A and B are shown apart, each in its own frame.
Chain A
Amino acid sequence: MLVALILLWALLSTMSDLVASPAESLSALMDRFADGSIYRHLNATMQAVAIGFLIAAAVGFPLGYAIGRSKFLGAVFDPLVAGAFAIPRVIFFPILLQIFGVGVGAQSAMAALAAVFPIMVSTTAGVRAINPLLPKLARSLSLSPLQTVTKIYVPAMAPSLMVGIRIGFSIAFINVIIAEFFAARAGLGLLALRAYGMLDLPTMYGIIVLLAAIALIGNLALWAVERRLGNKQL
């Protein structure tokens, strides 16, 4: 599959000047690593993704849990969360720029804002899907609220929590890149779009391949964990 894609890319590059060949792109990327100029950008991007994701997780999991547990909160907030989910959150980026200034802060905030809703949605769905006998079991064993959460809810919800983590990571990542495309001091997205502006196509393709690779590998790794958790539970 991957090989086929690379072959297709190579084929396209021979047909059009607008497509740099895989070899050219890779060597352009290697150059960036060799002279060390890429690390600043790589750092900025990864930092923003990590900070944004952590904030989204810290807010999204508890809120999603609360909405899932309470029928009333669910009835109040479900439509709001669904509505917020449908809004292209990047549209708020200019405001974040004004608050945080151009830099990693705005990027992190963007990632957090984008990722918090998918995390909430999957957590809520996870809580609601819990076998209704489990809370009963917890009560019959007179577990403390903390024990109920850590010994019953979290293990029972592990697969859907993982879905939230995976989707949250991806969304955080994508939104950081989009935000960097728009305005940034440093970051791989900025670098790619700057290369596009300077018509340095090999560099642009090289960086996009790097970005796709990071996203794909991160995603596949999280997906593998998710599947193992799922298998263990079955």
Chain B
Amino acid sequence: MNVLTKPALGQPKRKFADLQRASMVRWAIIVALVAVLELTTRTGMISQSLMVPPSVILAELASIVPTEQFGQDAARTLTTILTAFSIGLVLGVPLGVFLWRVPAAGRILEPFIVTGYAMPTLLFYPVLLAVMGLNAGPIIVIAASMSLIPIALTTMVALNAIRPILHKLANSVSASPQQYYLKVLFPAATPLIFPGVKLGFIYAVIGTVAMEFILASQGVGFRAGFYYRELNTADMWAYIAVVIVLSVLVNSVLTWLEKRIRRDML
């Protein structure tokens, strides 16, 4: 795991050793958890109609992944996530800039945006289903709206947090508005905006999978619910595992990116 990575420059060795120990304990917990599940399901302490042993899930996963159905479900889910996230990003950043430029609008909209963090946009899923039909459309709308809010909010906060001297500097070298945004504002704000972008992506994943799970015709979220209704516990678990792996992977990649951006730009 982390054995091969060198300690970051200038970081005390002790701290690194602590982190390594923590990561070992963490992996031990995960491994122990899997082992316990394997044991309890094998011995029948947990009924196999509730959960199949992790080793069986793994085998099931291996047999599912090459199927055409899995390919279609995965493709549908991924394109939905990416579309929703792109919409959230393309609308969220300008919205954040607007809220920053026009503080009055920010103040009026703030309660809605803050509550919108948890605003039940998901509640409107049946409405969208009624209007748009049973396809990826309603899911994209909901996942995009969930993804947009943290992006817009952190963009606003990040722009507000820029040191005033940088505005003065840009002004003093008579930077054009375009240079001002591209060379000063956005680079200065990126490390602070990125956590919002990360959250936006995670929300796009959560929104997409959750909506697919409720009602859809395709997608990995839909398939998990579908196998529940079919009473096919092994396949249901395999799809749940797919969702877990996907989410953890997304989170890890984004966390890694976040660290890099912080190191390079802060």
Q: Is B119 an interface residue (CB 8 A)?
A: yes
Distance of A9 from chain B, by nearest CB (Å): 10
B236 touches A216 (CB 8 A): no
B123 touches A211 (CB 8 A): yes
Distance of B79 from chain A, by nearest CB (Å): 17
Set of chain A residues within 8 Å of B117, measured between Cβ atoms: 167, 170
Set of chain A residues within 8 Å of B50, measured between Cβ atoms: 95, 98-99
Chain A residue nearest to B117 (CB atoms) is A167
Q: Is A57 an interface residue (CB 8 A)?
A: no
A76: contacting residue among B29, B210, B243, B251, CB under 8 A: B29
Whether A177 contacts B120 in the complex (CB less than 8 A), given A1-B112, A19-B131, A86-B251, comes out as: yes
Interface flags for A83-94 (1: CB within 8 Å of B; 0: not) read 101111011111
Set of chain A residues within 8 Å of B221, measured between Cβ atoms: 88, 91
Q: Residues of B at under 8 Å CB distance from A?
A: 18-19, 21-23, 25-26, 29-30, 49-51, 108-109, 111-112, 114-115, 117-120, 122-127, 129-131, 202, 205-206, 209-210, 213-215, 221, 224-225, 228, 236, 240, 243-244, 247-248, 250-252, 255
Set of chain B residues within 8 Å of A177, measured between Cβ atoms: 120, 122-123
B206 touches A88 (CB 8 A): yes
Q: Which 9 interchain pairs have the tightest Cβ spacing? A: A170-B118, A75-B22, A94-B228, A86-B251, A88-B209, A219-B115, A87-B247, A88-B206, A196-B126
Bound state CA distance, A171 and B119, in angstroms?
9
Q: Residues of A at under 8 Å CB distance from B?
A: 1, 16, 18-19, 71-72, 75-77, 79-80, 82-83, 85-88, 90-95, 97-99, 166-167, 169-171, 173-174, 177-178, 181-182, 192-193, 195-196, 201, 204-205, 208, 211-212, 215-216, 219-220, 223
Set of chain B residues within 8 Å of A99, measured between Cβ atoms: 50
A86 touches B225 (CB 8 A): no
Whether A170 contacts B120 in the complex (CB less than 8 A), given A72-B18, A76-B26, comes out as: yes
Bound state CA distance, A211 and B121, in angstroms?
11
Bound state CA distance, A76 and B224, in angstroms?
30
Interface of A is mostly: helix
A16 touches B127 (CB 8 A): no
B224 touches A94 (CB 8 A): yes
B248 touches A212 (CB 8 A): no
Set of chain A residues within 8 Å of B127, measured between Cβ atoms: 19, 204-205, 208
Chain A residue nearest to B228 (CB atoms) is A94
Set of chain A residues within 8 Å of B243, measured between Cβ atoms: 87-88, 91
What are 11 pairs between A and B in contact, CB < 8 Å?
A: A76-B22, A80-B26, A86-B247, A86-B248, A90-B214, A91-B209, A91-B243, A178-B210, A182-B213, A208-B124, A215-B123
Set of chain A residues within 8 Å of B18, measured between Cβ atoms: 71-72, 75
B26 touches A86 (CB 8 A): no
Set of chain B residues within 8 Å of A82, measured between Cβ atoms: 251, 255
Whether A88 contacts B247 in the complex (CB less than 8 A), given A76-B22, A98-B49, comes out as: yes
B112 touches A208 (CB 8 A): no
A18 touches B213 (CB 8 A): no
A215: contacting residue among B111, B119, B247, CB under 8 A: B119
B126 touches A193 (CB 8 A): yes
Bound state CA distance, A148 and B118, in angstroms?
32
Chain A residue nearest to B237 (CB atoms) is A95
Chain A residue nearest to B206 (CB atoms) is A88
Chain B residue nearest to A9 (CB atoms) is B127
Distance of A91 from chain B, by nearest CB (Å): 5
Distance of B178 from chain A, by nearest CB (Å): 33
B120 touches A174 (CB 8 A): yes
Set of chain B residues within 8 Å of A171, measured between Cβ atoms: 118
Additional 5 contacts, C-beta under 8 A, given A18-B131, A87-B206, A90-B210: A18-B130, A75-B18, A77-B26, A178-B210, A220-B111
